[in-house]
């Protein structure tokens, strides 16, 4: 018999609907039951592609005797951290304060009014060396809550104080200056792995936000050292097992220090950010490998992670058939059974496939040497060999698709979708790929038209198991609003369709109204309409995704440029001032904020194109503007017969010179004379 989770839409919660545990979803019903029964709450937080979440579920939550202990002594709540990031953030902070570390599954015991008093992560089903079994933990917690409740509550107050302290900004002093960016340099490059890329040691995470900031630093300084670090990291990740060599897309992280053995789950937010990073890396270096990674990753997302409505799925699991990585690895016999002998030998040589393997007797495909070096060492013509590689790759991908695939978390999150929307839009514009721009536009329509409530408030998640309208749930968080504003502005730059600026402005106004803290002058993560927690969350640090406040600071500055409304830029700068202490003390944890500082303090260029969309000169102008890495350039345009769009101050009054395609270049609050050729525009830009 199913429990209450059967009524939920989250794939993670639905994975637990048949547990013998009497699960509640997070909400008033569960908290009221705990108060009525005078029982502590066992709060279990995870997500659908989390390997150890699956392990604990199988070992403990599917076990009848353990479930009976849980049901007898606790009110049990299961939370999908991706659906309720505010709940996850508060109680992850609590566990980190108690234990010094955290992770998922997150297992925490709280009072009926939400105060945490004990917690950890994974607990085994029986005692193990240096690790208490889950039944022992359950018995001890129940006894303590019954017999030593006063002591528990006193300890809980200390934890709550730590949570409140973390959610309170430090008072910033001084102005937001570019010296903050230069001050971060030593922190960011001092721990660089100059042999394998990334940071020293293991595990290795891609950290796209760090390398985006380093690219900005390179653009300011021209530092070849910084560009070399970025290039090495992007190359090594692309050659490693963390990258799916035949299917495209990146796994969450590498468990070793050479990017070889991944944790096989693929997250939408990682791949969105990495597409943008590789795109910017390509603009900076013109390396064909980086363009190829963008193409293959977006192809993977289109093929495997896109709903018919245009929404992007959240994640694919690390496990299939109960085994981590089984879907992705190969034995020599499997290669030989799929490919004819010449193709099999090519695959083995290119991707380091051996009889002994490199992962539990099988092979994770990776590039022992770069593909460019592999081509140069071969006697075969490079173009012919490159075609052979692509053909073999397709054969292996087709064969792999017949395996039992990892589960896909099909919920569509506004914030993560906005990251991928931005990646599709910008890549489509740079590489002149209309299919990608169209994918971005379809996703934007879904988010702004269907992921909202009856009051037109942006919501956090949307799901559909058929071709129906789907169901949108949960009030949108700060990151949903901030990421979507930023993405819609990028989509405007790709299309010059001003309605996207209008949409962005409407969402930004909601964001300011509902999340802005007028006292501390920095955004909260939740609005007043969200469920009340111990504190109103405000996580200003970057995690796996950028801080919502940081992206708000960037997006509001860009919106100010497009709309001419200075209040947006003023709010952005005020929020950055509140983060000055973090930028000075822990710059590696606030790289997205420092990127916003870079935009604020740069000599920004505003370029406006007026003309006919089919004019070759306009096409060449757009191509030139997108050819190089220019993170602080704002591009606007109008391709209508009526010349400039009156709604935008950037476009207002702009007219073609002598009926020709015309570019207007402004910098440092001063505009230059309009020009009608690419050469003249380039001269002004430089």
Identify the CATH number of the domain in which residue 523 sits: 1.50.10.10
| DSSP calls for 614-671 | T-HHHHHHHHHHHHS--TTEEEEEE-STT-S-TT-TTTTT---BTTB-EEEEEETTEE
Under 8 Å between Cβ of 634 and 562: yes
Q: Do 339 and 310 share a structural domain?
A: no
Determine how many CB atoms are found less than 10 A away from the CB of residue 157. 11
pLDDT for 167: 76
Phi-psi region of 313 (alpha: psi -120 to 50; beta: other; left: phi over 0): beta
pLDDT at 642 over 80: no
The answer to whether residue 174 sits within a structural domain is: no
Compute the mean pLDDT over every residue in the chain, rounded to the nearest whole number: 93
Q: Do 681 and 560 share a structural domain?
A: no
Backbone φ and ψ of 631, nearest 5°: -70, -15
Q: How far, in Å, are 164, 175, 188, 216 from residue 577 at the CA level?
A: 21, 7, 21, 20
Identify the CATH number of the domain in which residue 119 sits: 3.40.30.10
- Say how many domains are in the chain: 4
Q: Do 380 and 275 share a structural domain?
A: no
Average pLDDT over residues 389-395: 97
For 58, residues 6+ apart whose C-beta sits below 8 A from its C-beta are none
Chain centre to alpha carbon of residue 393: 27
pLDDT for 645: 54
User: Residue 410: which pLDDT band, with cuts at 50, 70 and 90?
Assistant: very high
pLDDT for 555: 98
The answer to whether residue 172 sits within a structural domain is: no
Q: Do 158 and 48 share a structural domain?
A: yes
Q: Do 332 and 464 share a structural domain?
A: no
305 exposure class (CB count in 10 Å sphere: 0-12, 13-18, 19+):
buried
Identify whether 499 is preceded by a cis peptide bond (ω within 30 of 0).
no
Average pLDDT over residues 39-64: 94
> 613-623 burial string, b = 16+ CB within 10 Å, else e?
eeeebbeebbe
pLDDT for 163: 85
pLDDT at 257 over 70: yes
Average pLDDT over residues 432-440: 98
Q: Which residue has the higher pLDDT, 269 or 158?
A: 269
Backbone φ and ψ of 681, nearest 5°: -65, -45
Average pLDDT over residues 178-195: 89
For 129, residues 6+ apart whose C-beta sits below 8 A from its C-beta are none
pLDDT for 188: 86
Q: Do 150 and 93 share a structural domain?
A: yes
DSSP secondary structure code for residue 60 in this structure = I
DSSP secondary structure code for residue 259 in this structure = S
Q: Please name every residue paired with 412 in a beta bridge, in sequence order, or none if there are none.
A: 462
CA–CA dist 273, 454 (Å, integer): 32
Average pLDDT over residues 247-256: 97
CA–CA dist 594, 586 (Å, integer): 11
Place of tokens 């757009």: 622
CA–CA dist 433, 278 (Å, integer): 16
The answer to whether residue 51 sits within a structural domain is: yes
Q: Name the residue among 383, 381, 378, 373 with its Cα closest to residue 346.
A: 378
Q: Do 572 and 545 share a structural domain?
A: yes
CA–CA dist 370, 672 (Å, integer): 45
Determine how many CB atoms are found less than 10 A away from the CB of residue 401. 12
222 exposure class (CB count in 10 Å sphere: 0-12, 13-18, 19+):
exposed
The answer to whether residue 463 sits within a structural domain is: yes
Place of tokens 């003390």: 585
Backbone φ and ψ of 335, nearest 5°: -60, -45
Contacts 24+ apart (CB under 8 A), 391-395: 391/343, 392/339, 392/343, 392/346, 392/347, 393/245, 393/246, 395/338, 395/339, 395/343
User: Residue 646: which pLDDT band, with cuts at 50, 70 and 90?
Assistant: low
Under 8 Å between Cβ of 552 and 507: no
pLDDT for 643: 46
Average pLDDT over residues 303-326: 94
The answer to whether residue 59 sits within a structural domain is: yes
User: Residue 667: which pLDDT band, with cuts at 50, 70 and 90?
Assistant: confident
Determine how many CB atoms are found less than 10 A away from the CB of residue 187. 15
Give tens-digit pLDDT for 455-480. 999 999 999 865 557 899 999 999 99
Proportion of the chain above pLDDT 70, given as a percent: 98
The answer to whether residue 162 sits within a structural domain is: yes
* Residue 306 DSSP SS3: strand
CA angle 7, 9, 11 (to 5 degrees): 115
CA–CA dist 616, 537 (Å, integer): 51
Give tens-digit pLDDT for 71-130. 999 999 999 999 999 999 999 999 998 888 889 999 999 999 999 999 999 999 999 888
The answer to whether residue 194 sits within a structural domain is: no
The answer to whether residue 193 sits within a structural domain is: no
Q: Do 595 and 468 share a structural domain?
A: yes
CA–CA dist 606, 671 (Å, integer): 9
Average pLDDT over residues 267-274: 98
Q: How many residues does the chain have?
A: 686
Range of the domain at 573: 179-188+199-320+409-601
User: Residue 641: which pLDDT band, with cuts at 50, 70 and 90?
Assistant: low
pLDDT at 644 over 50: no
Give tens-digit pLDDT for 318-367. 999 989 999 999 999 999 999 999 999 999 999 999 999 999 999 999 99
629 exposure class (CB count in 10 Å sphere: 0-12, 13-18, 19+):
middle
Give tens-digit pLDDT for 160-183. 888 888 777 777 678 899 999 988
Q: Do 618 and 592 share a structural domain?
A: no
pLDDT for 396: 98
For 92, residues 6+ apart whose C-beta sits below 8 A from its C-beta are 45, 102, 106
Give tens-digit pLDDT for 353-389. 999 999 999 999 999 999 999 999 998 999 999 999 9
Under 8 Å between Cβ of 298 and 320: no
Q: What is the CA radius of gyration of the chain?
A: 26
pLDDT for 121: 95
Q: Do 590 and 647 share a structural domain?
A: no
For 205-209, 382-386, 647-651, 672-676, which range has the lowest pLDDT when averaged over its residues? 647-651
Whether the full predicted model's pTM is greater than 0.85, yes or no, is: yes
Q: Please name every residue paired with 608 in a beta bridge, in sequence order, or none if there are none.
A: 636, 664
Proportion of the chain above pLDDT 90, given as a percent: 84
Q: Which helix (H) or strand (E) holds 583?
A: helix 580-585
Average pLDDT over residues 508-526: 95
Under 8 Å between Cβ of 233 and 211: yes
Q: Do 674 and 533 share a structural domain?
A: no
Phi-psi region of 197 (alpha: psi -120 to 50; beta: other; left: phi over 0): left
Tokens encoding 485: 């504003």
Q: Do 147 and 237 share a structural domain?
A: no
């Amino acid at each position: 018999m199913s429990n209450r989770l059967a009524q939920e839409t989250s794939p993670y919660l639905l994975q637990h609907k048949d547990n013998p545990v009497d699960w509640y979803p997070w909400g008033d019903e569960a908290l009221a039951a705990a108060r009525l029964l005078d029982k502590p709450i066992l709060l279990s937080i995870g997500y659908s592609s989390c390997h150890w979440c699956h392990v604990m579920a199988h070992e403990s939550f599917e076990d009848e005797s353990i479930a009976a202990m849980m049901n007898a002594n606790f009110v049990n709540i299961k939370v999908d951290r991706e659906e309720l990031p505010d709940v996850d953030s508060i109680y992850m902070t609590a566990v980190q304060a108690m234990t010094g570390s955290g992770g998922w599954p997150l297992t925490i015991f709280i009072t009926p009014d939400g105060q945490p008093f004990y917690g950890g992560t994974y607990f085994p089903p029986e005692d193990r060396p240096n690790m208490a079994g889950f039944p022992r933990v359950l018995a001890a917690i129940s006894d303590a809550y019954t017999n030593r409740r006063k002591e528990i509550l006193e300890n809980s107050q200390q934890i709550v104080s730590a949570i409140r302290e973390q959610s309170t900004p430090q008072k910033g002093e001084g102005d937001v200056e570019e010296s903050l960016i230069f001050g971060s340099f030593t922190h960011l490059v001092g721990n660089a792995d100059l042999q394998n890329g990334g940071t020293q040691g293991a595990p290795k995470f891609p950290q796209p936000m760090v390398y985006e900031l380093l690219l900005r630093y390179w653009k300011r300084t021209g530092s070849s050292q910084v560009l070399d670090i970025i290039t090495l990291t992007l190359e090594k990740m692309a050659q490693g097992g963390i990258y799916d060599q035949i299917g495209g897309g990146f796994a969450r992280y590498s468990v070793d220090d050479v990017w070889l053995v991944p944790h096989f789950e693929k997250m939408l937010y990682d791949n969105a950010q990495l597409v943008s990073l590789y795109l910017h890396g390509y603009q900076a270096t013109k390396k064909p490998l980086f363009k190829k990674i963008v193409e293959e990753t977006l192809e993977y997302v289109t093929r495997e992670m896109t709903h018919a409505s245009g929404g992007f799925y959240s994640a694919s699991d690390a496990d299939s058939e109960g085994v981590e990585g089984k879907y992705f690895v190969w034995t020599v016999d499997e290669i030989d059974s799929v490919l004819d002998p010449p193709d099999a030998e090519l695959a083995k040589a290119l991707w380091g496939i051996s009889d002994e393997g490199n992962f539990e007797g099988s092979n994770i495909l990776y590039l022992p040497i770069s593909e460019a070096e592999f081509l140069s060492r071969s006697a075969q013509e490079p173009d012919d060999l490159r075609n052979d590689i692509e053909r073999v790759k397709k054969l292996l991908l087709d064969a792999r698709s017949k395996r039992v695939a990892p589960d896909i978390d099909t919920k569509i999150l506004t914030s993560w979708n906005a990251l991928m929307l931005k990646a599709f839009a910008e890549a489509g514009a740079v590489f002149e790929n209309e299919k990608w721009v169209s994918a971005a536009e379809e996703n934007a329509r879904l988010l702004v038209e269907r992921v909202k409530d009856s009051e037109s408030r942006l919501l956090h998640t949307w799901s559909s198991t058929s071709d129906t309208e789907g169901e949108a749930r949960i009030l949108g968080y700060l990151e949903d609003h901030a990421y979507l504003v930023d993405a819609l502005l990028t989509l405007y730059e790709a299309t010059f369709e001003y309605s996207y600026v209008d949409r962005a402005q409407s969402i930004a106004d909601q964001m300011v109204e509902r999340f802005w803290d007028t006292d501390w002058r920095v955004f909260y993560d939740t609005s007043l309409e969200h469920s009340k927690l111990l504190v109103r969350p405000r996580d200003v640090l970057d995690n796996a995704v950028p801080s919502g406040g940081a992206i708000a600071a960037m997006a509001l500055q860009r919106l100010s440029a497009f709309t001419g409304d200075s209040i947006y830029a003023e709010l952005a700068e005020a929020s950055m001032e509140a983060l000055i202490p973090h930028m000075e003390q822990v710059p590696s944890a606030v790289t997205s904020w420092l990127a916003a500082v870079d935009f604020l303090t740069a000599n920004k260029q505003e370029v406006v194109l007026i003309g006919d969309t089919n004019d070759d000169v306009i096409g060449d102008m757009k191509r030139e503007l997108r050819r190089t890495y220019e993170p602080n350039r704002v591009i606007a345009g109008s391709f209508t017969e009526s010349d400039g769009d009156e709604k935008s101050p950037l476009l207002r009054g702009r007219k073609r010179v002598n009926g020709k395609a015309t570019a207007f270049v402004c910098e440092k609050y001063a505009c230059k004379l309009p020009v009608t050729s690419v050469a003249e525009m380039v001269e002004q830009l430089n």
